[in-house]
Each structure stands twice: as structure tokens, then as C-alpha cells.
Structure 1
Amino acid sequence: MNAYFDNVKKPVTDKILQDLYLDANKTAVITIDMYNGHLSEDPDCPCPALRGREIIEPINNFTAACRELEVPVIHVRSTLRKDGSDDIKGNISAWRLVFPMTVGPIPGIEQHALEGSKWTEFAVDVRDSDYIVNGKKRLSAFYPTDLELLLRNLHKETIVLLGAMTDCCVLNTAFDGANRDFRIVLPQDLTRGSEHLEEAACRIVSLHLGLVVDSSELLEEWRNQKSKR
């Protein structure tokens, strides 16, 4: 199959890369923050990531195929304590301070990711066989969650990252995962972020962290592997 290296599509022929990044048996798929706090069409949505709505059904289709191939699906979402102690009444997250300087005021942002609220309900399909990781409180899906513990216990070494936002939580998770020696795969068609920064984020991943691919080719690769077992 092919991957994008600094936005140039090339065949992945190196046997080491194939073994480390493309083996379905070693892999788990992770959706990041695909929940109503970003994706709801409600005008009161506290932290809208409108472009993320484009990938809800494509992610649903991809994860359905993953389940058929017995690749585990993990959904990670931000959840913050209702009293604000995790963020706005404690040490305020950096993004809350600087992001509005670019995008302007964000009405209702104090409601973002509050545990038990409708905003933490998933916008993508979640099945009984899936795993849910709560408690993401900053930009990386690893902090301060039990995602790494889950992956180690599932004996998974490669993680496929989907969701929002490409240049923010997805990129942070890719760095944290790579620094923990997980192999990173990013289907560029199943992630959305700041439109002008998506390509840059994908280039950073391909230069330093892992493989950037098309989801259809990744599924085809996994299906070929299954047919050879």
C-alpha cells in the first residue's frame, strides 16, 4: 500500500515499516473527541469543530469494517469535573487562553466537556465491543487517561488515530504515542481540524511520527492480510 511522506504519496515497500505499522494484529483504532461538544448542530455547542461533522459517517463506516476485521476500536473523549477544578477554576488549559485570540470569543466555552452533560455524548457509533476512555483533560488522549494501560493490556503496538482536531488533539496524541514507542498511523481522510493547518499537521506526522495514509488503502491492506491467514 501507499503512504504520504511530506505530502508525497509513495509505496510502503520497506519490510520493517510494513511489520511495525501495517500489521492488523498489532493494531488498535482510536477516535479522539468525536462527541457533541465539538460536533453538535445545536447553536449552544460549547466548542464547535464544524468540519469534524464531515467525518462522522466515514468514521462510522471505517470502524464498522475494523470490527469485522477484529481490530479493536477505542473512543477517547474529554471529560472535566463539573466544579471546574480540572481546568477553569484550577490551572486553566493553555488552549483556552490563546485559541480565542485567533478565533474570537467562544460562547458557552465554560460548558465544554463537563462530565454528565449532553456535550460529552458521542456523535459516532459506539458498540458494545468497543472500549471507552474518559478523563482526557488536556490535548493528548494519553493525558491523564488510562489509554496506555488499555493498549498495553490489549497487546497493541500500533495505533490508528481518527477524529478532531488534526492540528491539536490528534497531533498531540500522535506525539505522546510515538514518545511511548507506539507506532502511529494517521488516515488523513478521517481527521479534521483547522483547515489551513491540516496538511501541515499531516506532514509533521509523516516526517517525525508515523505513516499518513488513506483509510481505504489501510482497510484493503488489512483485508489482504486476513485472507492470507
Structure 2
Amino acid sequence: MSLRAFVYEEPRLLARADFADYLDPSTTAVLSIDLHRGHLDASPKCPCPAPRARDLVAPVDAFHRQARALGVRIVHVKSVLRANGADDLGGIPAAWRRTFPLHVGPIPNADAHALEGSPWTELLTEVLPEDLRVENKRRLSAFYPTDLDFLLRNQRITTVVLDGGFTDCCVLNTAFDASNRTYRVIVLRDLVRGTDESLERAALNMVSLHLGLVMESRDLLAAWGAGSGS
């Protein structure tokens, strides 16, 4: 039985048996990254807008529902900084605050990004009581400086599936950190969005060559539904 994945943007049919360890729902968690109001709100006050990701909410919710039904755990990861700014502007600011405006221009209200207690940290995707949360992401990777690695290992997770944004930023950083920690990595190309199409493609190409599988959600759901190792 074959498995469809994308290698340097080209669809390939892979031997499913070669990637059986990637496809067991019981040892898999979906990491849904930063789909919160601080990126997705259409207001001009949005402190770190990611307009290309706004159309992800409904398809991500649909994918999560089907994944849960197959026994896959959902982990919602979001950036939350201490309200007094000690994690960022009150100390050594995150690098993106100085470099990203060189590309997009000044970002109104950027100082409010991800502040604890603000409306900007509200997740806009569906969160169910059985879902898991990691809500102290301070920088670009979901693993730093959070307890995500502890949580996943305690749940006996060996494969992580990434959706959310930005493809070329937090998703890519998380994919690198997951691979370096020996997790099997799958990034869903239809459920991530990058800064722009060019950077999105570049990030997915890097994942496909060095870090794991780049797939579409429908193909992964079909692989899960077919049963691990079949």
C-alpha cells in the first residue's frame, strides 16, 4: 500500500511500510500552533497579523474532529507572555520585533502581542475538554521554553503532526526541534500558512528534505483510517 507525500513540492507515492512508524494514531499528537486572535483577528489593532492563516480555522477544526475520532491527541500551542513584559519587551526583545518590520513595515500595537490576560491570546479554533494545551510558548518553537517535550513523552507520543502558522517561522522551528528530539514529524501543507507563498514553499521543502513528511490532511486521515502497518 502506498502513501502520498510531497518531496520538494513534488507529490510522491511512498511505500507505506517504509513509514509505518509515522502512522500509528495511538502514538501521535497534532500540534496546532498559534491559531489565536493575536494572529488571526481582522482588526487593525491585531498585534501580529497573519492574514493568510485566517482561512485555516474551519479546515483545521474539521481535521481535528476526524483526528480525535481516530484516537489522535490534539495539543493546542499558543504564545503567551507575562503581562508585565518580562519575557520580551521588558527584557531582551524577541528578534522578530526588530527584523519582521523591515519586511512588512511598522506593526501597530505590536507591544500587545501575546500578553497574558489580553484578548489576543484567545484561541479561535475549537478546543474540547479532552484536548491538551501548552500556553507558555515565549519564542518561535513550541518546545522552547515550554513543557511540551515532557507532555509528549509522558503521553508516549512518538509522532507529531503540525498545523497552524507561520510555516516559515513557528512551524518550521517546531519541526526542527521535534526532529532533533527524535520525534517523527509530519507537516500538513494544506493546514499551515507562511509569511508568503515563497517562504511557505521554502519551509515545506526544508521539512521534506531534512525533517519529516510533508502531507495533505486528507492523505494522512486516509492512512490513519487504513490502520497502522497495513
Give the TM-score normalised by structure 1: 0.96
Instruction: Quote the residue 1:224 is aligned against.
Output: 226
Task: Tell me the alpha carbon deviations over residues 178-201 of structure 1, each in whole angstroms, 9 at most, x when there is no partner.
Answer: 000011000100000112211110
Aligned to 1:191: 192
1:8 to 4, 7, 10: 10
1:81-104 per-residue CA deviation (whole Å, 9 max, x = no partner) reads 111110011011111111111110
TM-score where L is the length of structure 2: 0.96
User: Partner residue of 1:215?
Assistant: 217
Quote the offset at 1:14 in angstroms.
Answer: 5.5
Aligned length: 226
Query: What are the residue-to-residue correspondences of 1:61-210 with 2, within 5 Å?
Result: 61-195=62-196, 196-210=198-212
Structure 2: how far apart are the matches of 1:214 and 1:135?
28
What whole-Å deviation, never above 9, does each CA across 1:200-221 have from its counterpart, x for those lacking one?
1000000000000010010011
Counterparts in 2 of 1:51-66, with a 5 A limit?
A: 51-66=52-67
Amino acid at match of 2:143: F
Q: What amino acid does structure 2 have at the position aligned with 1:179?
A: N
Which amino acid is 1:156 matched to? I
Deviation, 1:43, is 2.1
2:187 is paired with a residue whose SS is strand
Of the structure 1 ranges 104-113 and 190-199, higher mean CA displacement relative to structure 2 is found in: 190-199
Runs of 4+ in 1 over 4 A off after TM superposition: none
Distance in 2 (alpha carbons) for counterparts of 1:6 and 1:21: 19
Partners of 1:131 and 1:120 in 2: CA distance? 16
2:43 corresponds in structure 1 to 42
Q: Write out per-residue CA displacement over residues 89-147 of structure 1, whole angstroms, 9 at most, x where no aligned residue.
A: 10111111111111100000000000111000001000001001011000000000111
User: Which blocks of at least 5 consecutive residues in structure 2 are unaligned?
Assistant: none
Confirm or deny: 8 A CA contact 2:37 2:123 kept in the other structure: yes
Aligned with 1:81: secondary structure? coil
In the TM superposition, what is the alpha-carbon distance from 1:20 to its structure 2 partner? 2.2
CA distance in 1, matches of 2:14, 2:204: 17
| Mapped partners of 2:42, 2:93: distance in 1 | 27
User: Which one-letter code corresponds to 1:146 in the other structure?
Assistant: D
2:185–2:212 Cα contact (<8 Å) kept? yes
Deviation at 1:42, TM superposition (A): 2.1
Q: Deviations over 1:42-72 (max 9, x none)?
A: 2211111001111110000000001111100
CA RMSD of aligned residues (A): 1.1
User: How far apart are the structure 2 equivalents of 1:43 and 1:102?
Assistant: 18
